């Protein structure tokens, strides 16, 4: 099967997930039990065993408190990219706050690794044209924040993107790597990872991934470290949808990931796919 597979990880702790925000506001984060090192370590061990490179979008807040984790990711040969600083959806930030978030997170990661941070992924895929303009100004080269699953209540949009089926250049100058979608029985189905990876059966998910690879030649998968941590503290949530979206299938994620990364196809980091890569020609 021809094509390129990119494994990406959004490095945040369990209490920073948006579905738990009401119970764990940012002012309480330092008082919560941190489990991000152990859970990220499980993913790093699996990737090392399979000799698969990945891109890790790391929160600046995490990097400041867990610098050894960031260095371990880089030392293992993976790409370190930015997930912003404080995991606040970008549409909730003012222009000044957003610019500070982007530049601050980039500098923290570059100071820790000694390498240029080229990529960015927005919290909860809260992309916008404004965001990409600011990213380009801040020195980023690519973004992977566009999730075309339009019925989701948090995802952002780009005015220049109409049902993208692959990477494209935004008018800001940024290269955009959208999350994959496939058509199934007339419906757009997200096959990008995260909660969708936990919800769908592996057999169905794999079939959609293969279809996407055959159609576009590029597949991008994403996940969070807390999704391989079934023993994380449980939070009582009033919203049953939030509870389902966060906790469903946690015990099976690591095993399913092991099978997924064994799919045929060349494994690369997102930063390696920038022009003049043939994938984007």
How does pLDDT run across 162-186, given as a tens digit for each residue? Answer: 556 688 999 999 999 999 999 888 8
Q: DSSP label at 261?
A: T
Per-residue pLDDT, 160: 62
* C-alpha–C-alpha distance, residues 95 and 97, integer Å: 6
Instruction: For residue 264, give the CATH number of its domain.
Output: 3.20.20.370
Report phi then psi at 153, rounded to 5: -80, -5
CA nearest 84: which of 71, 97, 67, 65?
A: 97
Low-confidence winner among 26-40, 74-88, 129-143, 229-243 (lowest mean pLDDT): 229-243
Pick the residue with more confidence: 244 or 156? Answer: 244
How does pLDDT run across 195-212, given as a tens digit for each residue? Answer: 999 999 999 999 999 999
Is the model's pLDDT at 261 over the cut of 50? Answer: yes
Per-residue pLDDT, 113: 98
CA nearest 258: which of 237, 228, 232?
A: 228
Structural domain count, the chain:
1
* C-alpha–C-alpha distance, residues 136 and 176, integer Å: 11
- Asked whether the bond before 276 is cis by omega within 30 degrees of 0, the reply is yes
User: Has this prediction a pTM greater than 0.75?
Assistant: yes
The helix (run of H) or strand (run of E) holding residue 176 is strand 175-176
How does pLDDT run across 2-11, given as a tens digit for each residue? Answer: 699 999 999 9
* C-alpha–C-alpha distance, residues 243 and 248, integer Å: 8
Per-residue pLDDT, 281: 42
Domain range spanning residue 146? 4-280
* Distant-in-sequence, close-in-space partners of 251: CB < 8 Å, separation ≥ 6: 230
The helix (run of H) or strand (run of E) holding residue 197 is helix 194-199
Q: Which two tokens stand for residue 168?
A: 């494209």
* Distant-in-sequence, close-in-space partners of 277: CB < 8 Å, separation ≥ 6: none
How does pLDDT run across 122-136, given as a tens digit for each residue? Answer: 999 999 999 999 999
Quick one: the chain helix, strand, coil %, rounded to 5? 45, 15, 40
Per-residue pLDDT, 276: 60
Q: Which two tokens stand for residue 253?
A: 């994620």
């Amino acid at each position: 099967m021809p094509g390129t597979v990119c494994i990406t990880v959004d490095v945040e702790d369990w209490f920073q997930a948006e579905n738990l925000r009401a119970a764990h506001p940012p002012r309480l984060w330092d008082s919560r039990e941190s489990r991000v090192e152990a859970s990220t370590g499980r993913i790093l061990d699996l990737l090392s065993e399979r000799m698969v490179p990945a891109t890790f979008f790391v929160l600046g807040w995490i990097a400041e408190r867990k610098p050894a984790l960031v260095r371990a990711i880089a030392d293992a040969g993976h790409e370190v990219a930015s997930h912003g600083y404080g995991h606040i959806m970008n549409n909730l930030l003012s222009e000044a706050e957003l610019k500070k978030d982007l530049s601050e997170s980039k500098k923290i990661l570059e100071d820790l690794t000694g390498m240029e941070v080229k990529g960015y992924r927005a919290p909860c895929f809260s992309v916008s044209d404004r965001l990409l303009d600011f990213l380009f100004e801040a020195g980023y080269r690519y973004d992977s924040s566009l999730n075309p699953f339009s019925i989701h209540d948090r995802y952002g949009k780009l005015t220049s993107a109409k049902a993208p089926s692959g990477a494209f250049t935004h008018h800001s100058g940024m290269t955009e790597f959208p999350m994959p979608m496939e058509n199934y029985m007339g419906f757009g189905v997200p096959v990008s990872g995260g909660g969708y990876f936990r919800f769908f059966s592996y057999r169905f998910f794999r079939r959609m991934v293969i279809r996407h690879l055959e159609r576009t030649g590029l597949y991008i998968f994403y996940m969070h470290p807390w999704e391989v941590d079934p023993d994380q503290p449980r939070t009582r949530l009033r919203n049953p949808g939030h509870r389902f979206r966060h906790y469903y299938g946690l015990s099976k994620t690591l095993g399913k990931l092991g099978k997924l990364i064994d799919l045929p196809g060349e494994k690369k980091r997102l930063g390696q796919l920038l022009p003049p890569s043939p994938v984007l020609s």
